[in-house]
């Protein structure tokens, strides 16, 4: 299955390297010998590697006249001989063959000629394409390791695409994506199309993916008009391409564990520090008595403590609650073609387990997992010589199962380590007096939630060549249908649906016992126990938990369907170097969706008219013009449709005749420029052009009985009949350089001006009394650079290696956002980046009481007890008071705008290795309180570095220090720069090692290929912050980011 279709050959080419020039030559007598020439012009080829498979020492290199000689006569005739040469297709033959006739000719492989890119509504040859497009393929995606969503797998793979993953929960781990920075404060999600239809790409089985193409500039996205401004991602599934029917199997098996591990200061230190904090605050009543401390010290000394110890509980909730998750993937697919048809069919199954250590219960299963079945059948029938009929049927069925109570990780963080045991010795769960603080009890006894997701995709297309009208003309019609539904089953202890909060928290009995450590009772045998002070058994002793489980079965959460149809006429022809292409296309969609309340939303409609003209002369001067006339039913008639033109020009310097002489050195130079206008209707709400009056329920009056008066009517928001889409004007200047056919550099400079971003007016008086619908008011600008440098080479006949470096950065500014006119400059949004952050600036710690009283007085929290060691904030406006006016814009953003990625790899006799490093920088986030401050949630639990606090002993040192201890943080926990931390990181995102078994081994079992591989994901992370937090995580209450290790096997017949 080698190089039979364009994308596969692209991959192969990445691995193909060029030979170093060599002047050594061999004798041409005896054995096998011959001459190697260029198939096109008969010129001799110098320096061709000639190797015999299985006979490593017999390789040779062709001489100045193209001659080679294999001396060893003992090699059998059926040995395979490989001729490989820079820029030419490899040639495989047998030794017997060349013993008969040793002369061979190699044909030039012009990689640039073969390579295609997927563009909107078609494919283009890469050489003559002028859009800014990056592309990857299914094989690359699969190297990402054990992941189950496409958005996750894209991280670092595509230049200019930033993918942020914030959760690792099975089935709920899609990453959010934005392309080329942010140009709007509205939704910046790109448009995602799978096989040309708007679909969720995340659950596509990686084995089904042919390619993923990202359209970045307006030249590429203008055809999507009103939906194209945020960029477009095109996922294409595989088609039958192989001459021989090939069945492929793949399977992998993986383990996952959180990338970060929790730990705290030990309890003795925590108690000591807690007393210091209590003393700092003058909360003498909070001081832990020495008798308690002594009792615990004794418990630790004698080992009388543990997770099930009634009196001295110590529970490492993280250890108790997490485990290594297991995941499995299986896929079988068939790929083939004949004269009549081409086919690709695939079935995949995946099961992804959770990292929480939850046990199956008798009545329900609260464990976390995601299991998914994918299927796909792509057929193309050649009905006549000029007619192709294509059908694609695909779908998935998935179950996402989990415990009833969410936010497990938060519960683990909040659970006190030394307040209560997991269970008391008499079998009751331990808990605090209020709320469910025992995460194990909470999860195992809470109940179960299972979501069932179904998705079906059905496409049919007929393509007719119309060469009888004029050569190169063809037309197609396409119809597609999507359906989607999500249902939910829930099971709960106690059988209460619609019960009060009160009842729901009483589903299982818990106890909280406190002991009087000051009055030990010494037993006759020398044992020590302590009297119980109190048993706050608030959750214990009601009967709800004794009821049978309650079930809420198959409740519809959401459902949707989408009908799409498209007609197009295309023309492609070349006349004496003039290559002309044209496309005219129209499509429509009807989208129905249904929310859980079972009401069908009013369908959404879209309609697009698209035109494209491409022209090039000898692939040297390139022109392209795109136009779309697209509409969005979100806006009023007359404001609905818009024309979105783009044009682009390209120039390939290396195609000039005078450049041919140095083509071996300078293999490719291409300049591109594009200008275009695109829109985005993402931020708009439907029908806001209509001034609504809503009918509402009745209102009751009456003295002793209810009389309802109604219906009542309320006025909707003030309509904006003139509202329309955001408009982006994008320019892109690109240059592509190829050197020695080894080094490839591509740089794109882009610039975008966005206008008419929908924005609710912010300068109207509140007494207008209703909201005013968003109008097209906002303006932004965004610019940046994408840079890609790739090196591919070969050392010797068997060792190929490559390195690929991506860098992209951008910068944006709000240029208008209806700021109140009397605001001071620093209070306005204008001139600041999208999503800018404000913080109080920490200048240092107060060193003495005098500092506190002589400095600016804080009015942030009057209840705060400020002591030496607390933060001093900068009085930005110098009015002597620290208040909201000193909360100022900081430079750092909470999303990354600059990313680096480096992919390295080699291939040596079937042994493959690749590794990717990924680093987003300039990303800041608020540190989580639970990791920043000691005694979070009132628990006597210090941070591991609790002893590095400010003390009088460290007073006077410069810089910002960890502040003095408090029981509860007030003053220090304002939104300040200390909390706002650099979350930039460098991560070894994935590593794959694979071994392709030699053909002669597998031929015996009739396999055509067999590869074993092992890969790892998120293996190493370097960052400047707390190692208990993964820098990518979305918050303290989300499922942690995981590291995974996978082993797998792929083989085909």
Partner 1 sequence: MKKIYYNILAFLCILSFSTGCEKFLDKSPDLGLDEDTIYESYESIRGYLDRCYPLLERWNMAGANQMSRDMNPMCITDELASSINTENFVVNTFNTGNWYSATRNSNWEIGMQGSSVISQSYKALRICNRILANIDRVQNITDEERNYILGQAHFYRAWYYYQLIKRYGGMPKLDRVFNGGDDDIPRMTYRQSHNWMMEDINQAIALLPVKWDDANYSRPDKAAAMGFKAQALLYAASPLMQNDLASTVEKPYDIDLCFEAAKAAQECLEFIRDNDTGRRFTTGTIEPGTIDAYKGIFVLPTTTFCHEEYLWWDRRNMNEEEQANTLRKYWIWADLDTFTGQDAAIVGMPTANIVAYYERKGPDGKYYPITDERSGYVEGEWSSMQNRDPRFYNNLLLPGTKWGKKGQNQRDYYISSWVGGAGYINITQDNNLSAQREFTGWLARKYTWPECQPWEYPSNKNRGYNIYRVKSFYIRVTEMYLDYAEALFEATKDATGKPEGFAWSPKEALDIVRARVGVTPIVDDYATPSTFRETYRRERTVELMFENHRWEDIRRWMIFDEVFPTSTPIKNFVWTCDQGADVDPADYNEGKDLTFSYTIVPNTVEVRNYDTRHYWYPFPGAEVGSLDNLQQNPGW
- Residue whose pair of structure tokens reads 């009792």 in the numeric block: 295
Closest CA to 185 of 763, 969, 756: 756
Binding mask 285-314 for partner 1 (x = CB under 8 A): ------------------------------
Give the max Cα distance, the chain.
118
- Examine residue 516 and tell whether it contacts partner 1 (CB under 8 A): no
Torsion of CA 824, 827, 829, 834, to 10 degrees: 150
CA 168 to chain centre: 11
> C-beta of 776: minimal distance to partner 1 in Å?
15
- Examine residue 531 and tell whether it contacts partner 1 (CB under 8 A): no
Stretch touching partner 1 by CB under 8 A, among 103-111, 240-248, 369-377, 705-713: 705-713
Residues constituting the chain: 1053
> C-beta of 773: minimal distance to partner 1 in Å?
10
Of 74 and 543, the one with the shorter C-beta distance to partner 1 is 543
Residue numbers 337-366 binding partner 1 by CB under 8 A: none
Closest CA to 300 of 265, 263, 271, 268: 268
> C-beta of 718: minimal distance to partner 1 in Å?
6
Of 322 and 632, the one with the shorter C-beta distance to partner 1 is 632
Of 54 and 638, the one with the shorter C-beta distance to partner 1 is 638
Of 471 and 811, the one with the shorter C-beta distance to partner 1 is 471
Give the H/E segment covering residue 908. strand 898-908
> C-beta of 453: minimal distance to partner 1 in Å?
28
Work out whether the CA dihedral 228, 230, 231, 234 comes out positive or negative: negative
Residue numbers 765-804 binding partner 1 by CB under 8 A: 765-770, 772
Residue numbers 835-864 binding partner 1 by CB under 8 A: 838, 859-863
> C-beta of 538: minimal distance to partner 1 in Å?
4
Taking phi over 0 as left and psi of -120 to 50 as alpha, with beta for the rest, 10 belongs to: alpha
Give the H/E segment covering residue 329. strand 325-337
Integer-rounded Cα radius of gyration of the chain: 34
Helical packing angle, 290-302 and 267-281, nearest 10° = 170
Of 32 and 315, the one with the shorter C-beta distance to partner 1 is 315
Instruction: Give the Cα separation of 439 and 62 in Å (integer).
Output: 71
Of 632 and 724, the one with the shorter C-beta distance to partner 1 is 632
* Cis peptide leading into residue 711 (ω within 30°): yes
> C-beta of 687: minimal distance to partner 1 in Å?
6
Stretch touching partner 1 by CB under 8 A, among 72-80, 86-94, 444-452, 819-827: 819-827
Of 41 and 822, the one with the shorter C-beta distance to partner 1 is 822
Closest CA to 227 of 200, 187, 194, 177: 187
Instruction: Give the Cα separation of 386 and 829 in Å (integer).
Output: 59
> C-beta of 701: minimal distance to partner 1 in Å?
5
Instruction: Give the Cα separation of 48 and 39 in Å (integer).
Output: 14
> C-beta of 593: minimal distance to partner 1 in Å?
13
Residue numbers 574-633 binding partner 1 by CB under 8 A: 586, 588, 602-603, 605-607, 609, 631-633
Among the listed residues 534, 811, 879, 891, the single contact to partner 1 using CB under 8 A? 534
Residue numbers 144-203 binding partner 1 by CB under 8 A: none
Of 940 and 1041, the one with the shorter C-beta distance to partner 1 is 940
Contact 150, 141 (CB under 8 A): yes
- Examine residue 763 and tell whether it contacts partner 1 (CB under 8 A): yes
Pairing of strands 693-696, 712-715: antiparallel
Among the listed residues 567, 671, 913, 1053, the single contact to partner 1 using CB under 8 A? 567
14, two tokens? 């990445």
- Examine residue 382 and tell whether it contacts partner 1 (CB under 8 A): no
Instruction: Give the Cα separation of 206 and 1015 in Å (integer).
Output: 15
> C-beta of 1031: minimal distance to partner 1 in Å?
26
Of 248 and 587, the one with the shorter C-beta distance to partner 1 is 587
Of 27 and 763, the one with the shorter C-beta distance to partner 1 is 763
Of 54 and 637, the one with the shorter C-beta distance to partner 1 is 637
Residue numbers 726-755 binding partner 1 by CB under 8 A: none
Instruction: Give the Cα separation of 603 and 590 in Å (integer).
Output: 6
> C-beta of 618: minimal distance to partner 1 in Å?
35
493, two tokens? 């202890």
Instruction: Give the Cα separation of 263 and 413 in Å (integer).
Output: 10
- Under DSSP, is residue 375 helix (H, G, I), strand (E, B) or coil? strand
- Under DSSP, is residue 937 helix (H, G, I), strand (E, B) or coil? helix
> C-beta of 678: minimal distance to partner 1 in Å?
19
- Examine residue 467 and tell whether it contacts partner 1 (CB under 8 A): no
Residue numbers 869-888 binding partner 1 by CB under 8 A: 883-885, 887
Residue numbers 397-436 binding partner 1 by CB under 8 A: 432-435
Tell me the number of residues near partner 1 by CB under 8 A: 100
Of 191 and 233, the one with the shorter C-beta distance to partner 1 is 191
Residue numbers 224-283 binding partner 1 by CB under 8 A: none
Closest CA to 47 of 56, 30, 59, 58: 59
**Residues forming a β-bridge with 256:** 325, 1044
Contacts of 544 (CB under 8 A, 6+ apart): 494, 496, 499, 503, 506, 507
Residue numbers 940-979 binding partner 1 by CB under 8 A: 967-968, 974-975
Instruction: Give the Cα separation of 818 and 830 in Å (integer).
Output: 8
Contact 742, 17 (CB under 8 A): yes
Residue numbers 683-702 binding partner 1 by CB under 8 A: 687, 690-696, 699-702
Among the listed residues 24, 73, 470, 500, the single contact to partner 1 using CB under 8 A? 500
Instruction: Give the Cα separation of 395 and 433 in Å (integer).
Output: 49
Of 85 and 544, the one with the shorter C-beta distance to partner 1 is 544
Instruction: Give the Cα separation of 539 and 507 in Å (integer).
Output: 8
Among the listed residues 61, 718, 981, 1038, the single contact to partner 1 using CB under 8 A? 718
Of 432 and 1028, the one with the shorter C-beta distance to partner 1 is 432
Of 397 and 888, the one with the shorter C-beta distance to partner 1 is 888
Stretch touching partner 1 by CB under 8 A, among 440-448, 540-548, 940-948, 1027-1035: 540-548
**Residues forming a β-bridge with 457:** 394, 482
Contact 258, 1043 (CB under 8 A): yes
- Examine residue 637 and tell whether it contacts partner 1 (CB under 8 A): yes
Among the listed residues 166, 172, 357, 505, the single contact to partner 1 using CB under 8 A? 505
- Examine residue 825 and tell whether it contacts partner 1 (CB under 8 A): no
């Amino acid at each position: 299955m080698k190089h039979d279709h364009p994308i596969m050959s692209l991959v192969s080419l990445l691995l193909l390297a060029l030979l170093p020039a060599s002047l050594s030559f061999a004798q041409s007598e005896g054995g096998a010998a011959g001459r190697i020439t260029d198939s096109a012009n008969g010129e001799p080829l110098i320096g061709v590697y000639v190797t015999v498979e299985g006979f490593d020492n017999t390789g040779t290199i062709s001489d100045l006249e193209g001659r080679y000689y294999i001396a060893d006569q003992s090699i059998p005739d059926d040995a395979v001989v490989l001729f490989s040469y820079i820029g030419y297709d490899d040639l495989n033959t047998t030794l017997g063959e060349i013993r008969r006739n040793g002369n061979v000719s190699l044909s030039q492989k012009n990689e640039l000629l073969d390579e295609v890119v997927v563009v909107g509504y078609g494919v283009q040859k890469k050489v003559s394409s002028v859009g800014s497009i990056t592309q990857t393929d299914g094989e690359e995606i699969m190297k990402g390791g054990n992941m189950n969503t496409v958005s996750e797998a894209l991280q670092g793979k595509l230049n200019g695409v930033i993918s942020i993953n914030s959760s690792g929960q099975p089935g709920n781990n899609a990453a959010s994506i934005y392309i080329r920075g942010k140009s709007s404060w509205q939704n910046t999600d790109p448009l995602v199309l799978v096989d040309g239809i708007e679909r969720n790409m995340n659950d596509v089985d990686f084995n089904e993916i042919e390619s993923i193409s990202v359209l970045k500039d307006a030249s590429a996205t203008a055809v999507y008009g009103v939906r194209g401004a945020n960029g477009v991602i095109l996922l294409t599934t595989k088609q039958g391409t192989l001459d021989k029917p090939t069945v492929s199997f793949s399977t992998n098996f993986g383990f996952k564990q959180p990338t970060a591990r929790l730990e705290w200061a030990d309890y003795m230190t925590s108690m000591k520090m807690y007393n210091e904090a209590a003393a700092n605050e003058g909360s003498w009543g909070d001081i832990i008595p020495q008798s308690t401390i002594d009792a615990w010290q004794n418990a630790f000394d004698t080992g009388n403590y543990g997770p099930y110890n009634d009196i001295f509980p110590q529970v490492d909730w993280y250890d108790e609650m997490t485990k290594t998750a297991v995941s499995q993937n299986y896929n079988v697919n068939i790929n083939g073609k004949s004269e009549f048809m081409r086919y690709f069919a695939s079935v995949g199954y995946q099961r992804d387990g959770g990292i929480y250590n939850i046990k199956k219960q008798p009545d329900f299963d609260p464990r976390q997992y995601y299991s998914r079945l994918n299927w796909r059948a792509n057929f193309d029938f050649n009905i006549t010589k000029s007619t192709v009929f294509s059908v694609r049927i695909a779908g998935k069925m998935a179950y996402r199962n989990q415990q009833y109570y969410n936010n497990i990780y938060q519960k683990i963080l909040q659970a006190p380590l030394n307040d209560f045991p997991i269970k008391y010795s008499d079998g009751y769960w331990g808990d605090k007096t209020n709320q469910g603080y025992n995460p194990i009890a909470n999860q195992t006894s809470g109940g179960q939630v299972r979501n069932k997701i179904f998705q079906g995709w059905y496409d049919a297309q007929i393509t007719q060549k119309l060469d009888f009208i004029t050569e190169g003309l063809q037309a197609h019609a396409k119809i597609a249908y999507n359906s989607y539904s999500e249902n939910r089953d829930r099971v709960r202890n106690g059988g209460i649906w619609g019960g009060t909060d009160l009842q729901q928290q009483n589903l299982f009995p818990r106890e909280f016992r406190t002991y009087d450590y000051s009055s030990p009772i010494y037993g006759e045998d020398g044992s020590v126990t302590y009297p119980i002070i109190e048993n706050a058994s608030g959750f214990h002793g009601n009967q709800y938990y004794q009821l049978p489980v309650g079930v809420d079965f198959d409740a519809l959460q959401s459902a949707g369907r989408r009908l799409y149809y498209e007609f197009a006429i295309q023309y492609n022809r070349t006349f004496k170097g003039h290559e002309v292409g044209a496309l005219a296309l129209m499509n429509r969609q009807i989208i129905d969706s249904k929310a859980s309340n079972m009401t069908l939303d009013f369908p959404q409609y879209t309609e697009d008219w698209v035109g494209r003209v491409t022209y090039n002369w000898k692939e040297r001067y390139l022109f392209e013009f795109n136009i779309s006339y697209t509409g969005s039913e979100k806006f009023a008639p007359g404001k609905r449709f818009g024309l979105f033109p783009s044009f682009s020009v390209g120039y390939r310097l290396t195609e000039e005749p005078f450049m041919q002489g140095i083509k071996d050195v300078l293999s490719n130079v291409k300049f591109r420029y594009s200008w275009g206008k695109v829109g985005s209707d993402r931020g708009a709400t439907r029908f806001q052009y209509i001034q609504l009056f809503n009918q509402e329920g009745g209102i009751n009056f009456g003295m002793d009985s209810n009389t309802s008066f109604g219906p009542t009517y309320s006025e909707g928001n003030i309509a904006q009949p003139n509202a329309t889409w955001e408009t982006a004007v994008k320019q892109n200047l690109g240059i592509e350089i190829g050197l020695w056919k080894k080094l490839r550099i591509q740089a794109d400079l882009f610039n975008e001006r966005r206008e008419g971003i929908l924005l609710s007016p912010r300068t109207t008086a509140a007494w207008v009394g209703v909201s005013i619908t968003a109008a097209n008011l906002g303006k932004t600008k965004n610019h940046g650079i994408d840079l890609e440098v790739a090196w591919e080479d070969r050392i010797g006949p068997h060792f190929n290696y490559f390195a690929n470096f991506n860098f992209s950065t951008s910068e944006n500014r709000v240029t208008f956002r209806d700021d109140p006119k009397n605001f001071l400059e620093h209070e306005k949004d204008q001139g600041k980046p999208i999503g800018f952050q404000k913080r109080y600036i920490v200048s240092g710690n107060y060193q003495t009481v005098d500092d506190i009283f002589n400095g600016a007085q804080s009015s942030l929290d009057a209840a705060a007890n400020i002591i030496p060691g607390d933060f001093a904030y900068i009085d930005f406006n110098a009015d002597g008071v620290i208040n909201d006016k000193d909360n100022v814009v900081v430079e750092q953003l909470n999303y990354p705008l600059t990313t680096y990625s480096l992919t390295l790899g080699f291939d040596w006799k079937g042994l493959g290795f690749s590794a990717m490093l990924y680093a987003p920088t300039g990303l800041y986030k608020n540190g989580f309180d639970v990791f920043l401050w000691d005694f979070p949630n009132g628990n006597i639990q210090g941070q591991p570095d609790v002893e590095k606090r400010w003390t009088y002993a460290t007073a006077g040192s410069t810089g910002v220090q960890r502040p003095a201890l408090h029981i509860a943080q007030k003053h220090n926990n304002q939104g300040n720069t200390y909390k706002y931390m650099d979350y930039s990181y460098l991560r070894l995102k994935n590593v794959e090692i694979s071994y392709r078994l030699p053909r002669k081994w597998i031929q015996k079992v009739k396999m055509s290929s067999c590869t074993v591989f092992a890969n790892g994901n998120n293996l190493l992370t370097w960052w400047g912050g707390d190692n208990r937090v993964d820098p990518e995580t979305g918050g303290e209450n989300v499922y942690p980011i995981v590291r995974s290790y996978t082993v797998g096997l792929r083989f085909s017949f």
